[in-house]
Amino acid sequence: MNFMKWRWLYFAISLVVIIPGMVSLILFGMKPAIDFTGGSLLEVRFNQISEKSSLSYSSLKDKLSEIYELDAIQQSGENQIILRGKHLNNEQKNLILEILSDNYGSIEERRFEAVGPSLGRELLTKTLIGVVIAAGLIMIYVWIQFNELKYGVSAILAMLHDSMVLLGVFSLLGYFYGIEVDILFVTALLTTLSFSVHDTIVVYDRIRELRGKYSKYSLVSLINTAVTETLSRSINNSVTIIIMLAALAMLGGETIRWFAVALLIGAVTGTYSSTFTAAPLLLLWEDVAKFIKQKRK
Amino acid sequence: MSHNLRIFLFIIVLTVISLYISLPSNIPIHLSLFGKQINQEILVPSFDVTIFGKRIQKEFKLKKGLDIQGGMQVVLKAKMNEIAAEDRETAIESAKEVILRRVDLYGINEPSVITSKMGEEYRLLIDLPGVSDPNQALQLVGTTAQLDFRLQNLDLATPEATYSAIAFFNQFERTNLTGKQLKRALVQFDPQTNEPVIALEFDDEGRKLFGELTKQNVGKVLAIFLDDMPIAMPKINSAILDGRAIMTGGFDLEEAKQTAIQLNAGALPIPIEIIEQRQLGASLGQAAVEKSVIAGLIGIGLVMIFMILLYGWKGLIADLALLVYGILTIAVYKVIGVTLTLPGIAGMLLTIGMAVDANILIFERMKEELRLGKPWKRAMELGFGRAWDSIKDANIATIMTALVLINPLDFSFLNTSGMVKGFGVTLFIGVLLGLFTGVVVTRTLMRVFLKDPGGSK
């Protein structure tokens, strides 16, 4: 099948997905969790909320305002809320719990996290280093594997494509739904990088194999054949991964839901990009190279 | 016996052993069947045999991470301003030892205290599983060690002192000498007997106090207490006026080191500051695990159905291999002691989706070879052979990423968070086992069970 005939369409689809995300990333940025910024998170469950004394966030805010700079109150279940704010020490937390139980009856402390600001910055540096090292290793590996600049660069561009999709989507999710990026998001990003090259390598491997067999054919028809032959495998394989991740995202509980969603987005874009970004990029490279040659002449 | 059958038997034996390891030691069954309530526990026979003089016991357990079993995690920053640079390593080690001692006494199971150095900053990362009272736990880890010297006064000894520890401790009277006047403690070797001894070095004030104490109390016991518990009970043999004491007393090297570390905890007390605190209720993690397990089972079921729909009998073989994969995975987790965290479970489920990838690559390759007119047997072997290159190349990237996440060499510039590590470890194990079951197990099962559906050669 002549898949490559539609290559501009594939690039256009990518741009439609990437551009809104990138705009959001530039305008709104991401919503970092306390892992990165430092701060506190306190999840409490109210055991005795009756209809009369129903919780109102504004009154809650008033009551805590003297000791605590609240950033957000969030419902996290029935009679259960999460308070987010500045870094707290244990005494301050106890004070908050006291105020809450004085006003609303018996409460249960479900979760408390407090991260100092310096630690948050440090984690940010560490994760950035981690991303750079992983991306660097994969880059070197692809380079060695394919021994030809255009394969290496195209595989890496596809990887970049996938990272931008994921970052963009989470920037939008952060802006509209308040989804935060935490350390697990970065983990998902790294895993996405490996998904991305995983599939790309399968496609490129096939192109290389065909090139060896049918050296007379043009690159376009080689790529078309390779894509045709690997597409069903790519899709079938992604389906199994997507089944697992979708089950996890829908049923797996709050703690890892967004982690699963991030992995899911990574798996989808990774599959798409290896066939519809990495392969056509090879052709684009060829076209540009030809164009430059003609100009020089 | 043919080569294939041998591998087949090996796989079966491996699976049975793994199944045995991966089963929990009792399986509670609560069912309601035809209106009857069934409440029973299946006890998996335990395993305790001696082979060639070695005792082999089944005591593999899945370790649960803090996010699953609940508990508390604290990061402490050690303020080293007042400690001389050369003593800092000793000081942080001692602080760690003191905290471990306290949480042990408090009765916390499997606490973990890790020291780390970030730039010039020394830190203690403390995991306290199962702690439900954070205030008390913080008191345990957050206070500086108190060391003091106490003189035995036999007049205070009561008859209970022989069997009651508290009464026994009560016969020691506090002196003015404390950890403050102790400069450091070192392990040395007695030049005559070559036995390890502990050398104590006092500052000027300590030298005077210690000199006086030893002069007046020769023959008595001058016990050393850390956090109100005795760590050494040396007897004063003679007056020591130069502020340098040697404790002998038949400890082995390990004991001597241990005691010196504890002494230094008092000699080099470091003020600490809590820079991170996380605590999780156990119910939260447990609920999340149950949800993840259900999600996982549904996912696996769907993947299996998908494979059968797509590839028929071959799909069923791949599903069998997937079951083997699941059993091996849990066994490996138990044997090497992987600490299971929620992201780790996510990683495990993810790798289940990835494990069939090798099968799909191979089966698709087979289809192509069949389309080219190759006989079935030949197409199968070619499928495995040709797909292997892609499988291998493609999985290396995942392995590299997993290694960056695990950070096995503990580079301080990389992440050390338990959650990320947990995910990395399960991803790493998953990819390797997936290669094994996806290629070796599936191929063997196919060679043994599947015949050419067309009937021709």
Q: Which residue has the tokens 């510039």?
A: B413
Residue B86 belongs to a domain: yes
Residue B42 belongs to a domain: no
* A82-101 pLDDT per residue, tens: 888 888 888 888 888 888 88
Q: Which of A129, A248, A254, A274 to mutate to test the interface with B (most CBs of B within 10 A)?
A: A248
Q: Which residues contact B279 (CB under 8 A, 6 or more apart)?
A: A109, A111, A112, A113, B70, B71, B72, B73, B131, B134
In this structure, the answer to whether residues B301 and B379 fall within a common structural domain is yes
Question: What separation in angstroms does the CA of B234 have from each of B198, B221, B243, B439?
Answer: 11, 6, 16, 65
Q: Which residue has the tokens 């698709």?
A: B364
Question: What separation in angstroms does the CA of B7 have from each of A149, B332, B355, B434, B443?
Answer: 42, 20, 20, 17, 10
Residue B36 belongs to a domain: no
In this structure, the answer to whether residues B438 and B352 fall within a common structural domain is yes
In this structure, the answer to whether residues B201 and B237 fall within a common structural domain is yes
List the domain range (segments joined by +) for residue B225: 149-242
Backbone angles phi, psi at B272, to 5 degrees: -125, 160
In this structure, the answer to whether residues B359 and B398 fall within a common structural domain is yes
Backbone angles phi, psi at A291, to 5 degrees: -60, -45
Q: What DSSP string runs through B166-225?
A: HHHHHTEEEEEEEGGGEEEEEEEE-TTT--EEEEEEE-HHHHHHHHHHHHHTTTSBEEEE
The pLDDT of residue A262 is 93
The CATH number of residue B169's host domain is: 3.30.1360.200
Question: Cβ contacts (< 8 Å) between B345 and chain A: which residues?
Answer: 256
ipTM of the complex: 0.83
Q: Chain B within 8 Å of A199 (Cβ-Cβ)? A: yes
d(CA A195, CA A271): 8
In this structure, the answer to whether residues B314 and B179 fall within a common structural domain is no
Tell me which residue in B67, B306, B394 faces A239 most closely, judged by beta carbons: B306
Tell me which residue in A194, A202, A253 faces B390 most closely, judged by beta carbons: A202
The pLDDT of residue A52 is 47
In this structure, the answer to whether residues B296 and B421 fall within a common structural domain is yes
Show the DSSP H helices in chain A as ranges. Answer: 7-27, 34-37, 57-64, 90-104, 117-146, 149-177, 183-213, 219-251, 254-273, 279-296
Residue B202 belongs to a domain: yes
Burial (CB count within 10 angstroms: exposed 0-12, middle 13-18, buried 19+), residue B35 = exposed
d(CA B354, CA B352): 5
- % of chain A with per-residue pLDDT over 90: 12
Question: Cβ contacts (< 8 Å) between A129 and chain B: which residues?
Answer: 413-414
* A163-212 pLDDT per residue, tens: 999 999 999 999 998 888 888 888 888 888 888 888 888 888 888 888 88
Chain B, 382-411: which have a CB under 8 Å from a chain A CB? 389-390, 393-398, 400-402, 404-405
Let me know the angle formed at the C-alpha of A209 by A206 and A213, rounded to the nearest 5 degrees. Answer: 135
Q: Among residues B120, B62, B131, which one has the least CA distance to residue B338?
A: B62
Residue B260 belongs to a domain: no
In this structure, the answer to whether residues B310 and B415 fall within a common structural domain is yes
In terms of phi and psi (left: phi > 0; alpha: psi -120 to 50; beta: otherwise), the region of B201 is: beta
In chain B, DSSP finds a helix count (H) and a strand count (E) of: 13, 17
Residue B40 belongs to a domain: no
d(CA B350, CA B435): 14
In this structure, the answer to whether residues B171 and B101 fall within a common structural domain is no
Q: Chain B within 8 Å of A119 (Cβ-Cβ)? A: yes
Structural domains in chain B (count): 3
Burial (CB count within 10 angstroms: exposed 0-12, middle 13-18, buried 19+), residue A142 = buried
Q: Chain A within 8 Å of B333 (Cβ-Cβ)? A: no
The CATH number of residue B302's host domain is: 1.20.1640.10
Question: Cβ contacts (< 8 Å) between B277 and chain A: which residues?
Answer: 89-90, 112-114
Let me know the angle formed at the C-alpha of A36 by A33 and A42, rounded to the nearest 5 degrees. Answer: 45
pTM summary value: 0.79
In this structure, the answer to whether residues B123 and B175 fall within a common structural domain is no
With an 8 Å Cβ cutoff, are B350 and A263 in contact?
yes
The CATH number of residue B126's host domain is: 3.30.70.3400
With an 8 Å Cβ cutoff, are B295 and A110 in contact?
no
More confidently predicted of A145 and A167: A167
Q: Among residues B85, B83, B124, B117, which one has the least CA distance to residue B102?
A: B124
Q: Among residues B400, B384, B381, which one has the least CA distance to residue B435?
A: B384
In this structure, the answer to whether residues B167 and B208 fall within a common structural domain is yes
Question: What separation in angstroms does the CA of A138 have from each of A133, A277, B243, B441?
Answer: 9, 18, 61, 29
Tell me which residue in A111, A191, A250 faces B281 most closely, judged by beta carbons: A111
Q: Among residues A234, A263, A267, A239, which one has the least CA distance to residue A249?
A: A263
What chain A holds in terms of domains, given with CATH numbers, is 3-33+119-296 (1.20.1640.10), 39-115 (3.30.70.100)
Tell me which residue in A190, A195, A243 faces B404 most closely, judged by beta carbons: A190
Per-residue pLDDT of chain B (457 residues; tens, 9 = 90+): 577 788 888 888 888 888 887 776 555 555 565 666 656 665 555 555 565 655 555 566 777 878 788 888 888 888 877 777 777 888 888 888 888 877 777 777 778 888 887 777 888 888 888 887 778 788 777 777 778 888 887 777 666 666 777 777 778 888 888 887 888 888 888 888 888 888 888 888 888 888 888 888 888 888 888 878 888 888 888 888 888 888 887 778 888 888 888 887 777 777 788 888 888 777 777 788 888 888 889 999 999 999 999 888 888 988 999 999 989 998 888 888 788 888 888 888 888 888 888 888 888 888 888 888 888 888 888 888 888 877 887 788 888 888 888 887 767 677 666 777 888 888 899 999 988 888 888 888 888 887 665 544 3
Q: Chain B within 8 Å of A169 (Cβ-Cβ)? A: no
The pLDDT of residue B457 is 39
In this structure, the answer to whether residues B227 and B190 fall within a common structural domain is yes
More confidently predicted of B288 and A57: B288
d(CA B109, CA B14): 32
The pLDDT of residue B456 is 40
With an 8 Å Cβ cutoff, are B278 and A232 in contact?
no
Residue B100 belongs to a domain: yes
d(CA A179, CA B100): 38
* A267-277 pLDDT per residue, tens: 999 999 988 99
Question: Cβ contacts (< 8 Å) between B307 and chain A: which residues?
Answer: 240
Q: Chain B within 8 Å of A141 (Cβ-Cβ)? A: yes
Last residue of a domain, one of B279, B307, B334: B279
Give the gyration radius of chain B's Cα atoms.
Answer: 31
In this structure, the answer to whether residues B293 and B437 fall within a common structural domain is yes
Q: Among residues B430, B425, B426, which one has the least CA distance to residue B407?
A: B425
Residue B288 belongs to a domain: yes
CB B347, CB B428: distance < 8 Å: no
Q: What DSSP string runs through B334-382?
A: HHHTPEE-HHHHHHHHHHHHHHHHHHHHHHHHHHHHHHTT--HHHHHHH
Chain A, 82-101: which have a CB under 8 Å from a chain B CB? 89-90, 94
